[in-house]
Structure 1
């Protein structure tokens, strides 16, 4: 039976209201995007229109013919040239590593009149970001309480849940800021570890400013993180919006990551970082452990 790639950006995404339609299908990638503009239809779901200059974020699945037909029914797609609610076409979908062609359900431009545009391009971010308190997964220097004290924001990050692991991601340094690279997580093989906090509105406002969300440096996203054997769903984290080839982090920044993480990161993960950073960046972290 033939299979097709499908990009979903609304209620079919993980933990959203219609996720059960594709629960038995193969998730290809969670951190994906395509060119388009996103709108809130106003009755519990979004709609995308094509746009060559903006991005819509979502997830990529591989589905069989029967599942695709069920999705067509859900989206009100009856066939090309018919009276459809959504049209189904093909677009390029970009992943952290590589790109593919996939089916995408879109509105026609005239259907968006009067609808609210979702500026972030991310339905889950639009729906979840205002629901504080939130769980927050820090994997870089935001694990470091000493840095938090220096920046006078430690009082916002006192509710520490524990160390967390994020499957199918790896730590990288894909954005350069002045003196060197800064941390990111890239979807693919491997596992990234970090510290999980429970945060309120003040911490969220600080993180959005610190991560340069408005300037397009990092973007918020939601991931599932394992903490003490339990899976926390839809945990906030931040990833680099426009990933570049890795740049070595400056020593002071690498030190903050290790200093902040050594109490919650596993021995295995710290040993992995020690080996990788020594080989790639000539950074020896043993002095900070």
Structure 2
């Protein structure tokens, strides 16, 4: 029998206990559910069933695999007095729809004194707590073009280009709008998005957090796999829209940045595809 499981901490891809998920099938890398996230101080987070958003991944696995994860999570049985975590069914939101899944939650009383993770994202929390000296960054929108980097005086932080990359799990859409039209978003719907993979400094990451409006809730950091010339690069930083809305055509200056950054670097077929897609979107 198969079950769906939402994971948000050390069971996530690339984290310390991901080996438990090796036989599971990933339904969504970008998933979220309602709750609050806390740092236990023991090297793993705890989620409580409260209002808020917790980000993670959605998997399908067999019951035998789930039993092994129960042991890891300190779950014995429903309402067992020795449970570290309880097992709860939750609604999980993904870019392609809603799912029902199990997840591990901690009683709110146990989280007293723990630090709340405001972003709701354990992976991002670890990353931002101590930014590495170098980070792989995947740009799929206006950041493929370097003109605004130069105007901001940060172009030297984006000088190391790994190459043109592709991520099969994602598509480029325009799900967020400002006063003059849509802006690019990376949506997990298996469309084969292309972009530029950079190796950047932590100063570049700090700049990107501001430019992408992370602090204002426009975009959030995400970590994905990207292929460049047949080689897969894992855990590449990118940014995805939090509150995805109806798509609108981007303004001319913004679409020009995308095309300027894409032409001669991404595949000609993809450049034609993204240009056509932008042109066919409705105006605001």
2:212 alignment counterpart:
211
Counterpart pick for 2:78 among 80, 89, 111: 80
**Distance in structure 2 (CA, Å) of the matches to 1:230 and 1:281:** 37
TM-score (norm 1): 0.93
Match status 1:100 vs 2:99: yes
On the 8 A contact 1:32/1:58 being kept in 2, the answer is yes
Give the secondary-structure state (helix, strand or coil) at the position aligned to 2:190: strand
Distance apart, 1:253 and its partner CA:
0.3
Aligned equivalents of 1:150 and 1:281: distance in 2? 30
> Equivalences for 1:14-163 in 2 at 5 Å?
14-52=13-51, 54-82=52-80, 83-129=82-128, 130-163=131-164
Please report how far the alpha carbon of residue 155 of structure 1 lies from its aligned counterpart in structure 2 after TM superposition.
2.1
User: Offset at 1:195?
Assistant: 0.6
Write the distance in 2 (CA, Å) between the matches of 1:110 and 1:11: 22
Alignment TM-score, normalising by the size of structure 2: 0.95
**Which residue of structure 2 aligns with residue 232 of structure 1?**
233
Q: How far apart, in 2, do the equivalents of 1:162 and 1:177 lie?
A: 30
For residues 121-154 of structure 1, the C-alpha deviation after alignment (integer angstroms, 9 at most, x for no partner) is 1111111232231010000001101232233321
> What stretches of structure 1 of length at least 5 have no aligned partner?
283-289
| Change beyond 3 A, Cα 1:176–1:209 | same
Q: Is the 8 A contact 2:6 2:103 kept in 1?
A: yes
Could you tell me how far apart the structure 2 residues matched to 1:271 and 1:248 are?
16
Residue 193 of structure 1 is matched in structure 2 by 194
CA distance in 2, matches of 1:263, 1:274: 14
SS in 2 for 1:80: coil
CA RMSD of aligned residues (A): 1.3
* Cα separation, 2, equivalents of 1:209 and 1:7: 30
Q: Is the deviation greater in 212-221 or in 114-123?
A: 114-123
